C-alpha cells in the first residue's frame, strides 16, 4: 500500500513537471506565431499544430493530476443527505465506476493508435500516434490513481472513517 | 437509447461521480447499449474536441489572470477603485464590484475573480464593520462579472460550439456586464445604507492620480486584449497569449512580485484548471454527438414549438430551465449539453444566436451563486470562513437583482447586440 502510494506520488510529480513544461512551450510557440506574423511578416507553418497537440497532452495529463488531487467537481447535494456510513460506500462506488471509464479510455486509446499510427499530421508530418497517445497515457494514470483511491476509500469505509475529500 | 443516456447521467450525477466522468460514462452506456456504434468513437471524439486552436484561449486567459493575481496587479486595481468610489456608503462593496469588473476584463473565469479580489476585500470589509455574510455575498456575486465582462471562458466555448464570432460575443457581453454590475451596486448600496456602513473620506485628486498611475499597467491589459481583437490584429487565442506575456513581464520585471518558484506553481495549477474544463469538454462532446445522432435536438424543438411559438413564452421557459440547471450543474458542461439542444429552438422563433449566447452565460453565472451549489459561493465562504447557510440568506437580494437584469436583457436584445453592431463586427 505504502509502496503503491509512493510510486503514484512520483508518477504524479513527473506529470506535474511535464504539464508545467508543456504549458510554457505552448505559450512560447503561440507567441512566436504572433511575432512571426507581425515582425518578420511570414507565418510559421507548424506553430498552430504543435500548440494544439501540446494542449491535448496538457488536457489528459492535467486531468490525471486532477484525479490525484480529487479536484474534479461533482454534484454533492444528494450524497450529503446520506448517513456517513453509506456516504463512505458511495465514495467507493464512485471510484469504481470512474475506474471503468478510465479503463475504456486505456483500451480504446490504445486500439485507436493502430489506426491513426499510419497517418501523418498535415503540417509537421509526424505520426498521429504522438498526439493521440495522450488519451492512452492520461487514461493509464487516471486509472491507477482512481484504482488506488478506491482501495484506500474501501479500507476507510470498512474501518468506519471517512477519507477527507480535499 | 436516449433514455439510457439521460437515465445513467442523472444516476451518476446523484452519486457525486465527477461531472466529466459522469458524462463520459453515460455516453459509454449509450454506446454499449446501441451495439452498433464502435466504442473507439469515444476516444476519437474526446481527442478531436480538445484538438482546437480557439479553445487554447482558455488556458491562456486562466494563466494571464493568475499571473496578474500573483504579480500584485489585483491589489493595485483595488487601491485605484477604492480611491474613486470608497467615499460612498457601503463604499468597499462598490470597490469589490468595480475591482471585479476590472479583473473580469483580464481573466475569463468567475471563481478566479472571487479569489483574486475577495482575498483582499472580504477581510477589508469585515475590518470596517460590515457583516461577514454581507461582505462574502457581495464578493461572490461580483465575481460572476468575470464571465460577463470580456474575455470570458463560457463565451469562448459557446463561440466554438455555434460558430458565432468569439470577438463579437465578447463585445456583446460588455453592456450586460455593466447592467449586472450596476444592479449589484444598487442592492449593495440599499443594504449598506440601511445598516449604516459609512464610506471612507473623500480621496483627494492627487491620491486618485497616484493610485491610477500605480494601476496603469494593469488597466492597459484589457485595452491590449480587446483592442487587439477588435483592431483585427489578433485572434482571441493570440490576444490571450499576448496578455500572458504582458502579465509575465509586468509581474516579474516591473512590479517584481512574481518569483520563478511561484511560476512553477502557477503553471501547474493553470494546467490542472484547464484540464478539468477541457476534460468536461472532451466527454461532453461525445455526449452531444450522440444527442445529435439521435436527433434529440429536433425532437425537443418540435415538442417545445408545438407547445408555443411565442418568443417571450419560450425565452421565459428557457430562462427558468437555465436557472434551474445552473443551480445544480457546472457551467461548461451545461453549455455543451444545452446549446445544441436549445439553439435550434430559439433560432426558429427568430432569436439572434449572439443574443442567446449572452442569455445563457448570464443565466449560468447566476447559477454560480445560487445555493446550495455555486462555485463562487464556495470560494467566497472559503475566504471568509462562514458556512453556506450563513451566506445563503445574505446572497438572495443580490440574486434577485441579477434575475431582474437577466430578464431585462432577455427581452431587450439591443443590450447585447448594440455594441457588436456599432463596431461593425456582427
Question: Radius of gyration of chain A from Cα atoms?
Answer: 20
Whether A165 has a pLDDT exceeding 60, the answer reads no
Element (H, E) at B84: helix B73-85
- Looking from the CA of B273 toward its CB, the CA atoms found within 13 Å total 21
Which of A63, A70, A112, A135 to mutate against chain B (most B CBs within 10 Å)? A63
Residue with the three cell numbers 466529466: B20
C-alpha distance from residue A28 to each of A25, A118, B242, B378 (Å): 5, 29, 10, 34
If you average pLDDT over residues B366-386, what whole number do you get? 89
Residue A104 has pLDDT above 80, yes or no: yes
Residues of B (82-101) whose Cβ lies below 8 Å from A: none
- Taking the CA of residue A124 and the nearest CA in chain B, the distance in Å comes to 15
Mean pLDDT score of chain B, rounded to an integer? 91
When pLDDT is cut at 50, 70 and 90, the band that residue B105 belongs to is confident
Q: How far apart are CA B410 and CA B415, in angstroms?
A: 9
Please tell me the predicted confidence (pLDDT) of residue B227.
85
pLDDT of the residue at A161: 57
Q: What is the pLDDT of residue A160?
A: 65
Q: Considering only residues A61 and B89, tell me which one the structure prediction assigns the higher pLDDT.
A: A61
B2-14 and B260-293 helices, crossing angle to 10°: 150
For helices A47-68 and A2-35, the axis angle rounded to 10 degrees is 150
pLDDT of B285: 92
Mean pLDDT of B5-28: 93
The grid coordinates of residue B167 equal 470577438
Point out the least confidently predicted range of B58-62, B177-181, B227-231: B227-231
Mean pLDDT for the stretch of residues B45-51? 95
B268 → closest Cβ in A20, A48, A56: A20
* Interchain proximity B267–A19, CB inside 8 Å: yes
Q: Could you tell me the pTM of the whole model?
A: 0.90
Q: Which of residues 358-417 of B touch A (CB under 8 A)?
A: 372-373, 375
What does the DSSP assignment read for B361-388?
A: HHHHHHHTTSTT--HHHHHHHHHH---H
In this predicted model, which residue has the larger pLDDT, A81 or B7? B7
pLDDT band at A166 (very low <50, low <70, confident <90, very high): very low
pLDDT band at residue B30, thresholds of 50, 70 and 90?
very high
For residue B221, pLDDT over 90 is answered with: no
Cβ-defined contact of B272 to A65 (cutoff 8 Å): yes
Which of A30, A77, A109 has the highest number of chain B CBs within 10 A, making it the mutation to test binding with B?
A30
Please, are residues B80 and B93 in contact by the beta-carbon 8 Å criterion? no
- pLDDT, position A163: 52
The more confident residue out of A72 and B137 is: B137
In contact, B327 and B145? CB cutoff 8 Å: no
pLDDT 10s digits, B142-155: 999 999 998 999 99
Is pLDDT of A79 > 70? yes
Amino acid at each position: 500500500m505504502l509502496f503503491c502510494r509512493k510510486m503514484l506520488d512520483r508518477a504524479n510529480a513527473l506529470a506535474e513537471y511535464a504539464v508545467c513544461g508543456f504549458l510554457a512551450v505552448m505559450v512560447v510557440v503561440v507567441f512566436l506565431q504572433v511575432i512571426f506574423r507581425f515582425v518578420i511578416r511570414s507565418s510559421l507553418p507548424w506553430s498552430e499544430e504543435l500548440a494544439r497537440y501540446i494542449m491535448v497532452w496538457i488536457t489528459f495529463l492535467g486531468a490525471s493530476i486532477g484525479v490525484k488531487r480529487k479536484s474534479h467537481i461533482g454534484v454533492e447535494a444528494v450524497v450529503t443527505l446520506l448517513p456517513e456510513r453509506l456516504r463512505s460506500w458511495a465514495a467507493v462506488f464512485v471510484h469504481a465506476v470512474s475506474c471503468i471509464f478510465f479503463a475504456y479510455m486505456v483500451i480504446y486509446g490504445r486500439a485507436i493508435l493502430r489506426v491513426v499510427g499510419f497517418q501523418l499530421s498535415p503540417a509537421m508530418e509526424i505520426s498521429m500516434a504522438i498526439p493521440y497517445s495522450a488519451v492512452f497515457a492520461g487514461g493509464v494514470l487516471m486509472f491507477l490513481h482512481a484504482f488506488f483511491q478506491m482501495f484506500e476509500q474501501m479500507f476507510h469505509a470498512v474501518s468506519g472513517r471517512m477519507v477527507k475529500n480535499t | 437509447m436516449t433514455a439510457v443516456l439521460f437515465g445513467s447521467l442523472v444516476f451518476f450525477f446523484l452519486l457525486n461521480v465527477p461531472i466529466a466522468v459522469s458524462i463520459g460514462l453515460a455516453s459509454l452506456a449509450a454506446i454499449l447499449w446501441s451495439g452498433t456504434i464502435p466504442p473507439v468513437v469515444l476516444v476519437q471524439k474526446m481527442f478531436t474536441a480538445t484538438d482546437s486552436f480557439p479553445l487554447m484561449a482558455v488556458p491562456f486567459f486562466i494563466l494571464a489572470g493568475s499571473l496578474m493575481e500573483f504579480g500584485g496587479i489585483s491589489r493595485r486595481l483595488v487601491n485605484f477603485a477604492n480611491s474613486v468610489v470608497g467615499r460612498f456608503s457601503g463604499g468597499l462593496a462598490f470597490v469589490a464590484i468595480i475591482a471585479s469588473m476590472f479583473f473580469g476584463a483580464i481573466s475569463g473565469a468567475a471563481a478566479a475573480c472571487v479569489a483574486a479580489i475577495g482575498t483582499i476585500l472580504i477581510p477589508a470589509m469585515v475590518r470596517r464593520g460590515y457583516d461577514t455574510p454581507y461582505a462574502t455575498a457581495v464578493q461572490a456575486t461580483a465575481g460572476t462579472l468575470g464571465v460577463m465582462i470580456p474575455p470570458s471562458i463560457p463565451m469562448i466555448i459557446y463561440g466554438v460550439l455555434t460558430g458565432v464570432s468569439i470577438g463579437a460575443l465578447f463585445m456583446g457581453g460588455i453592456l450586460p456586464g455593466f447592467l449586472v454590475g450596476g444592479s449589484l451596486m444598487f442592492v449593495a448600496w440599499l443594504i449598506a445604507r440601511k445598516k449604516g456602513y459609512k464610506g471612507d473620506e473623500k480621496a483627494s485628486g492627487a491620491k486618485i492620480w497616484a493610485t491610477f498611475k500605480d494601476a496603469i499597467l494593469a488597466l492597459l491589459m484589457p485595452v491590449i486584449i480587446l483592442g487587439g481583437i477588435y483592431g483585427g490584429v489578433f485572434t482571441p487565442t493570440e490576444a490571450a497569449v499576448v496578455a500572458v506575456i504582458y502579465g509575465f513581464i509586468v509581474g516579474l520585471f516591473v512590479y517584481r512580485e512574481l518569483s520563478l518558484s511561484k511560476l512553477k506553481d502557477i503553471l501547474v495549477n493553470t494546467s490542472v484548471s484547464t484540464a478539468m474544463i477541457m476534460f468536461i469538454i472532451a466527454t461532453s462532446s461525445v455526449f452531444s454527438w450522440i444527442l445529435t445522432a439521435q436527433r434529440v435536438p429536433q425532437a425537443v424543438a418540435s415538442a417545445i414549438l408545438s407547445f408555443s411559438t411565442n418568443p417571450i413564452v419560450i425565452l421565459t421557459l428557457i430562462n427558468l430551465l437555465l436557472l434551474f440547471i445552473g443551480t445544480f450543474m457546472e457551467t461548461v458542461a451545461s453549455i455543451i449539453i444545452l446549446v445544441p439542444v436549445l439553439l435550434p429552438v430559439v433560432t426558429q422563433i427568430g432569436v439572434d444566436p449572439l443574443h442567446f449566447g449572452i442569455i445563457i452565460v448570464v443565466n449560468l453565472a447566476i447559477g454560480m451563486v445560487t445555493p446550495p451549489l455555486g462555485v463562487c459561493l464556495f470560494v467566497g465562504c472559503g475566504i471568509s470562513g462562514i458556512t453556506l447557510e450563513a451566506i445563503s440568506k445574505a446572497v438572495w437580494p443580490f440574486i434577485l437583482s441579477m434575475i431582474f437584469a437577466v430578464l431585462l436583457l432577455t427581452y431587450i436584445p439591443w443590450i447585447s447586440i448594440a455594441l457588436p453592431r456599432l463596431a461593425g463586427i456582427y
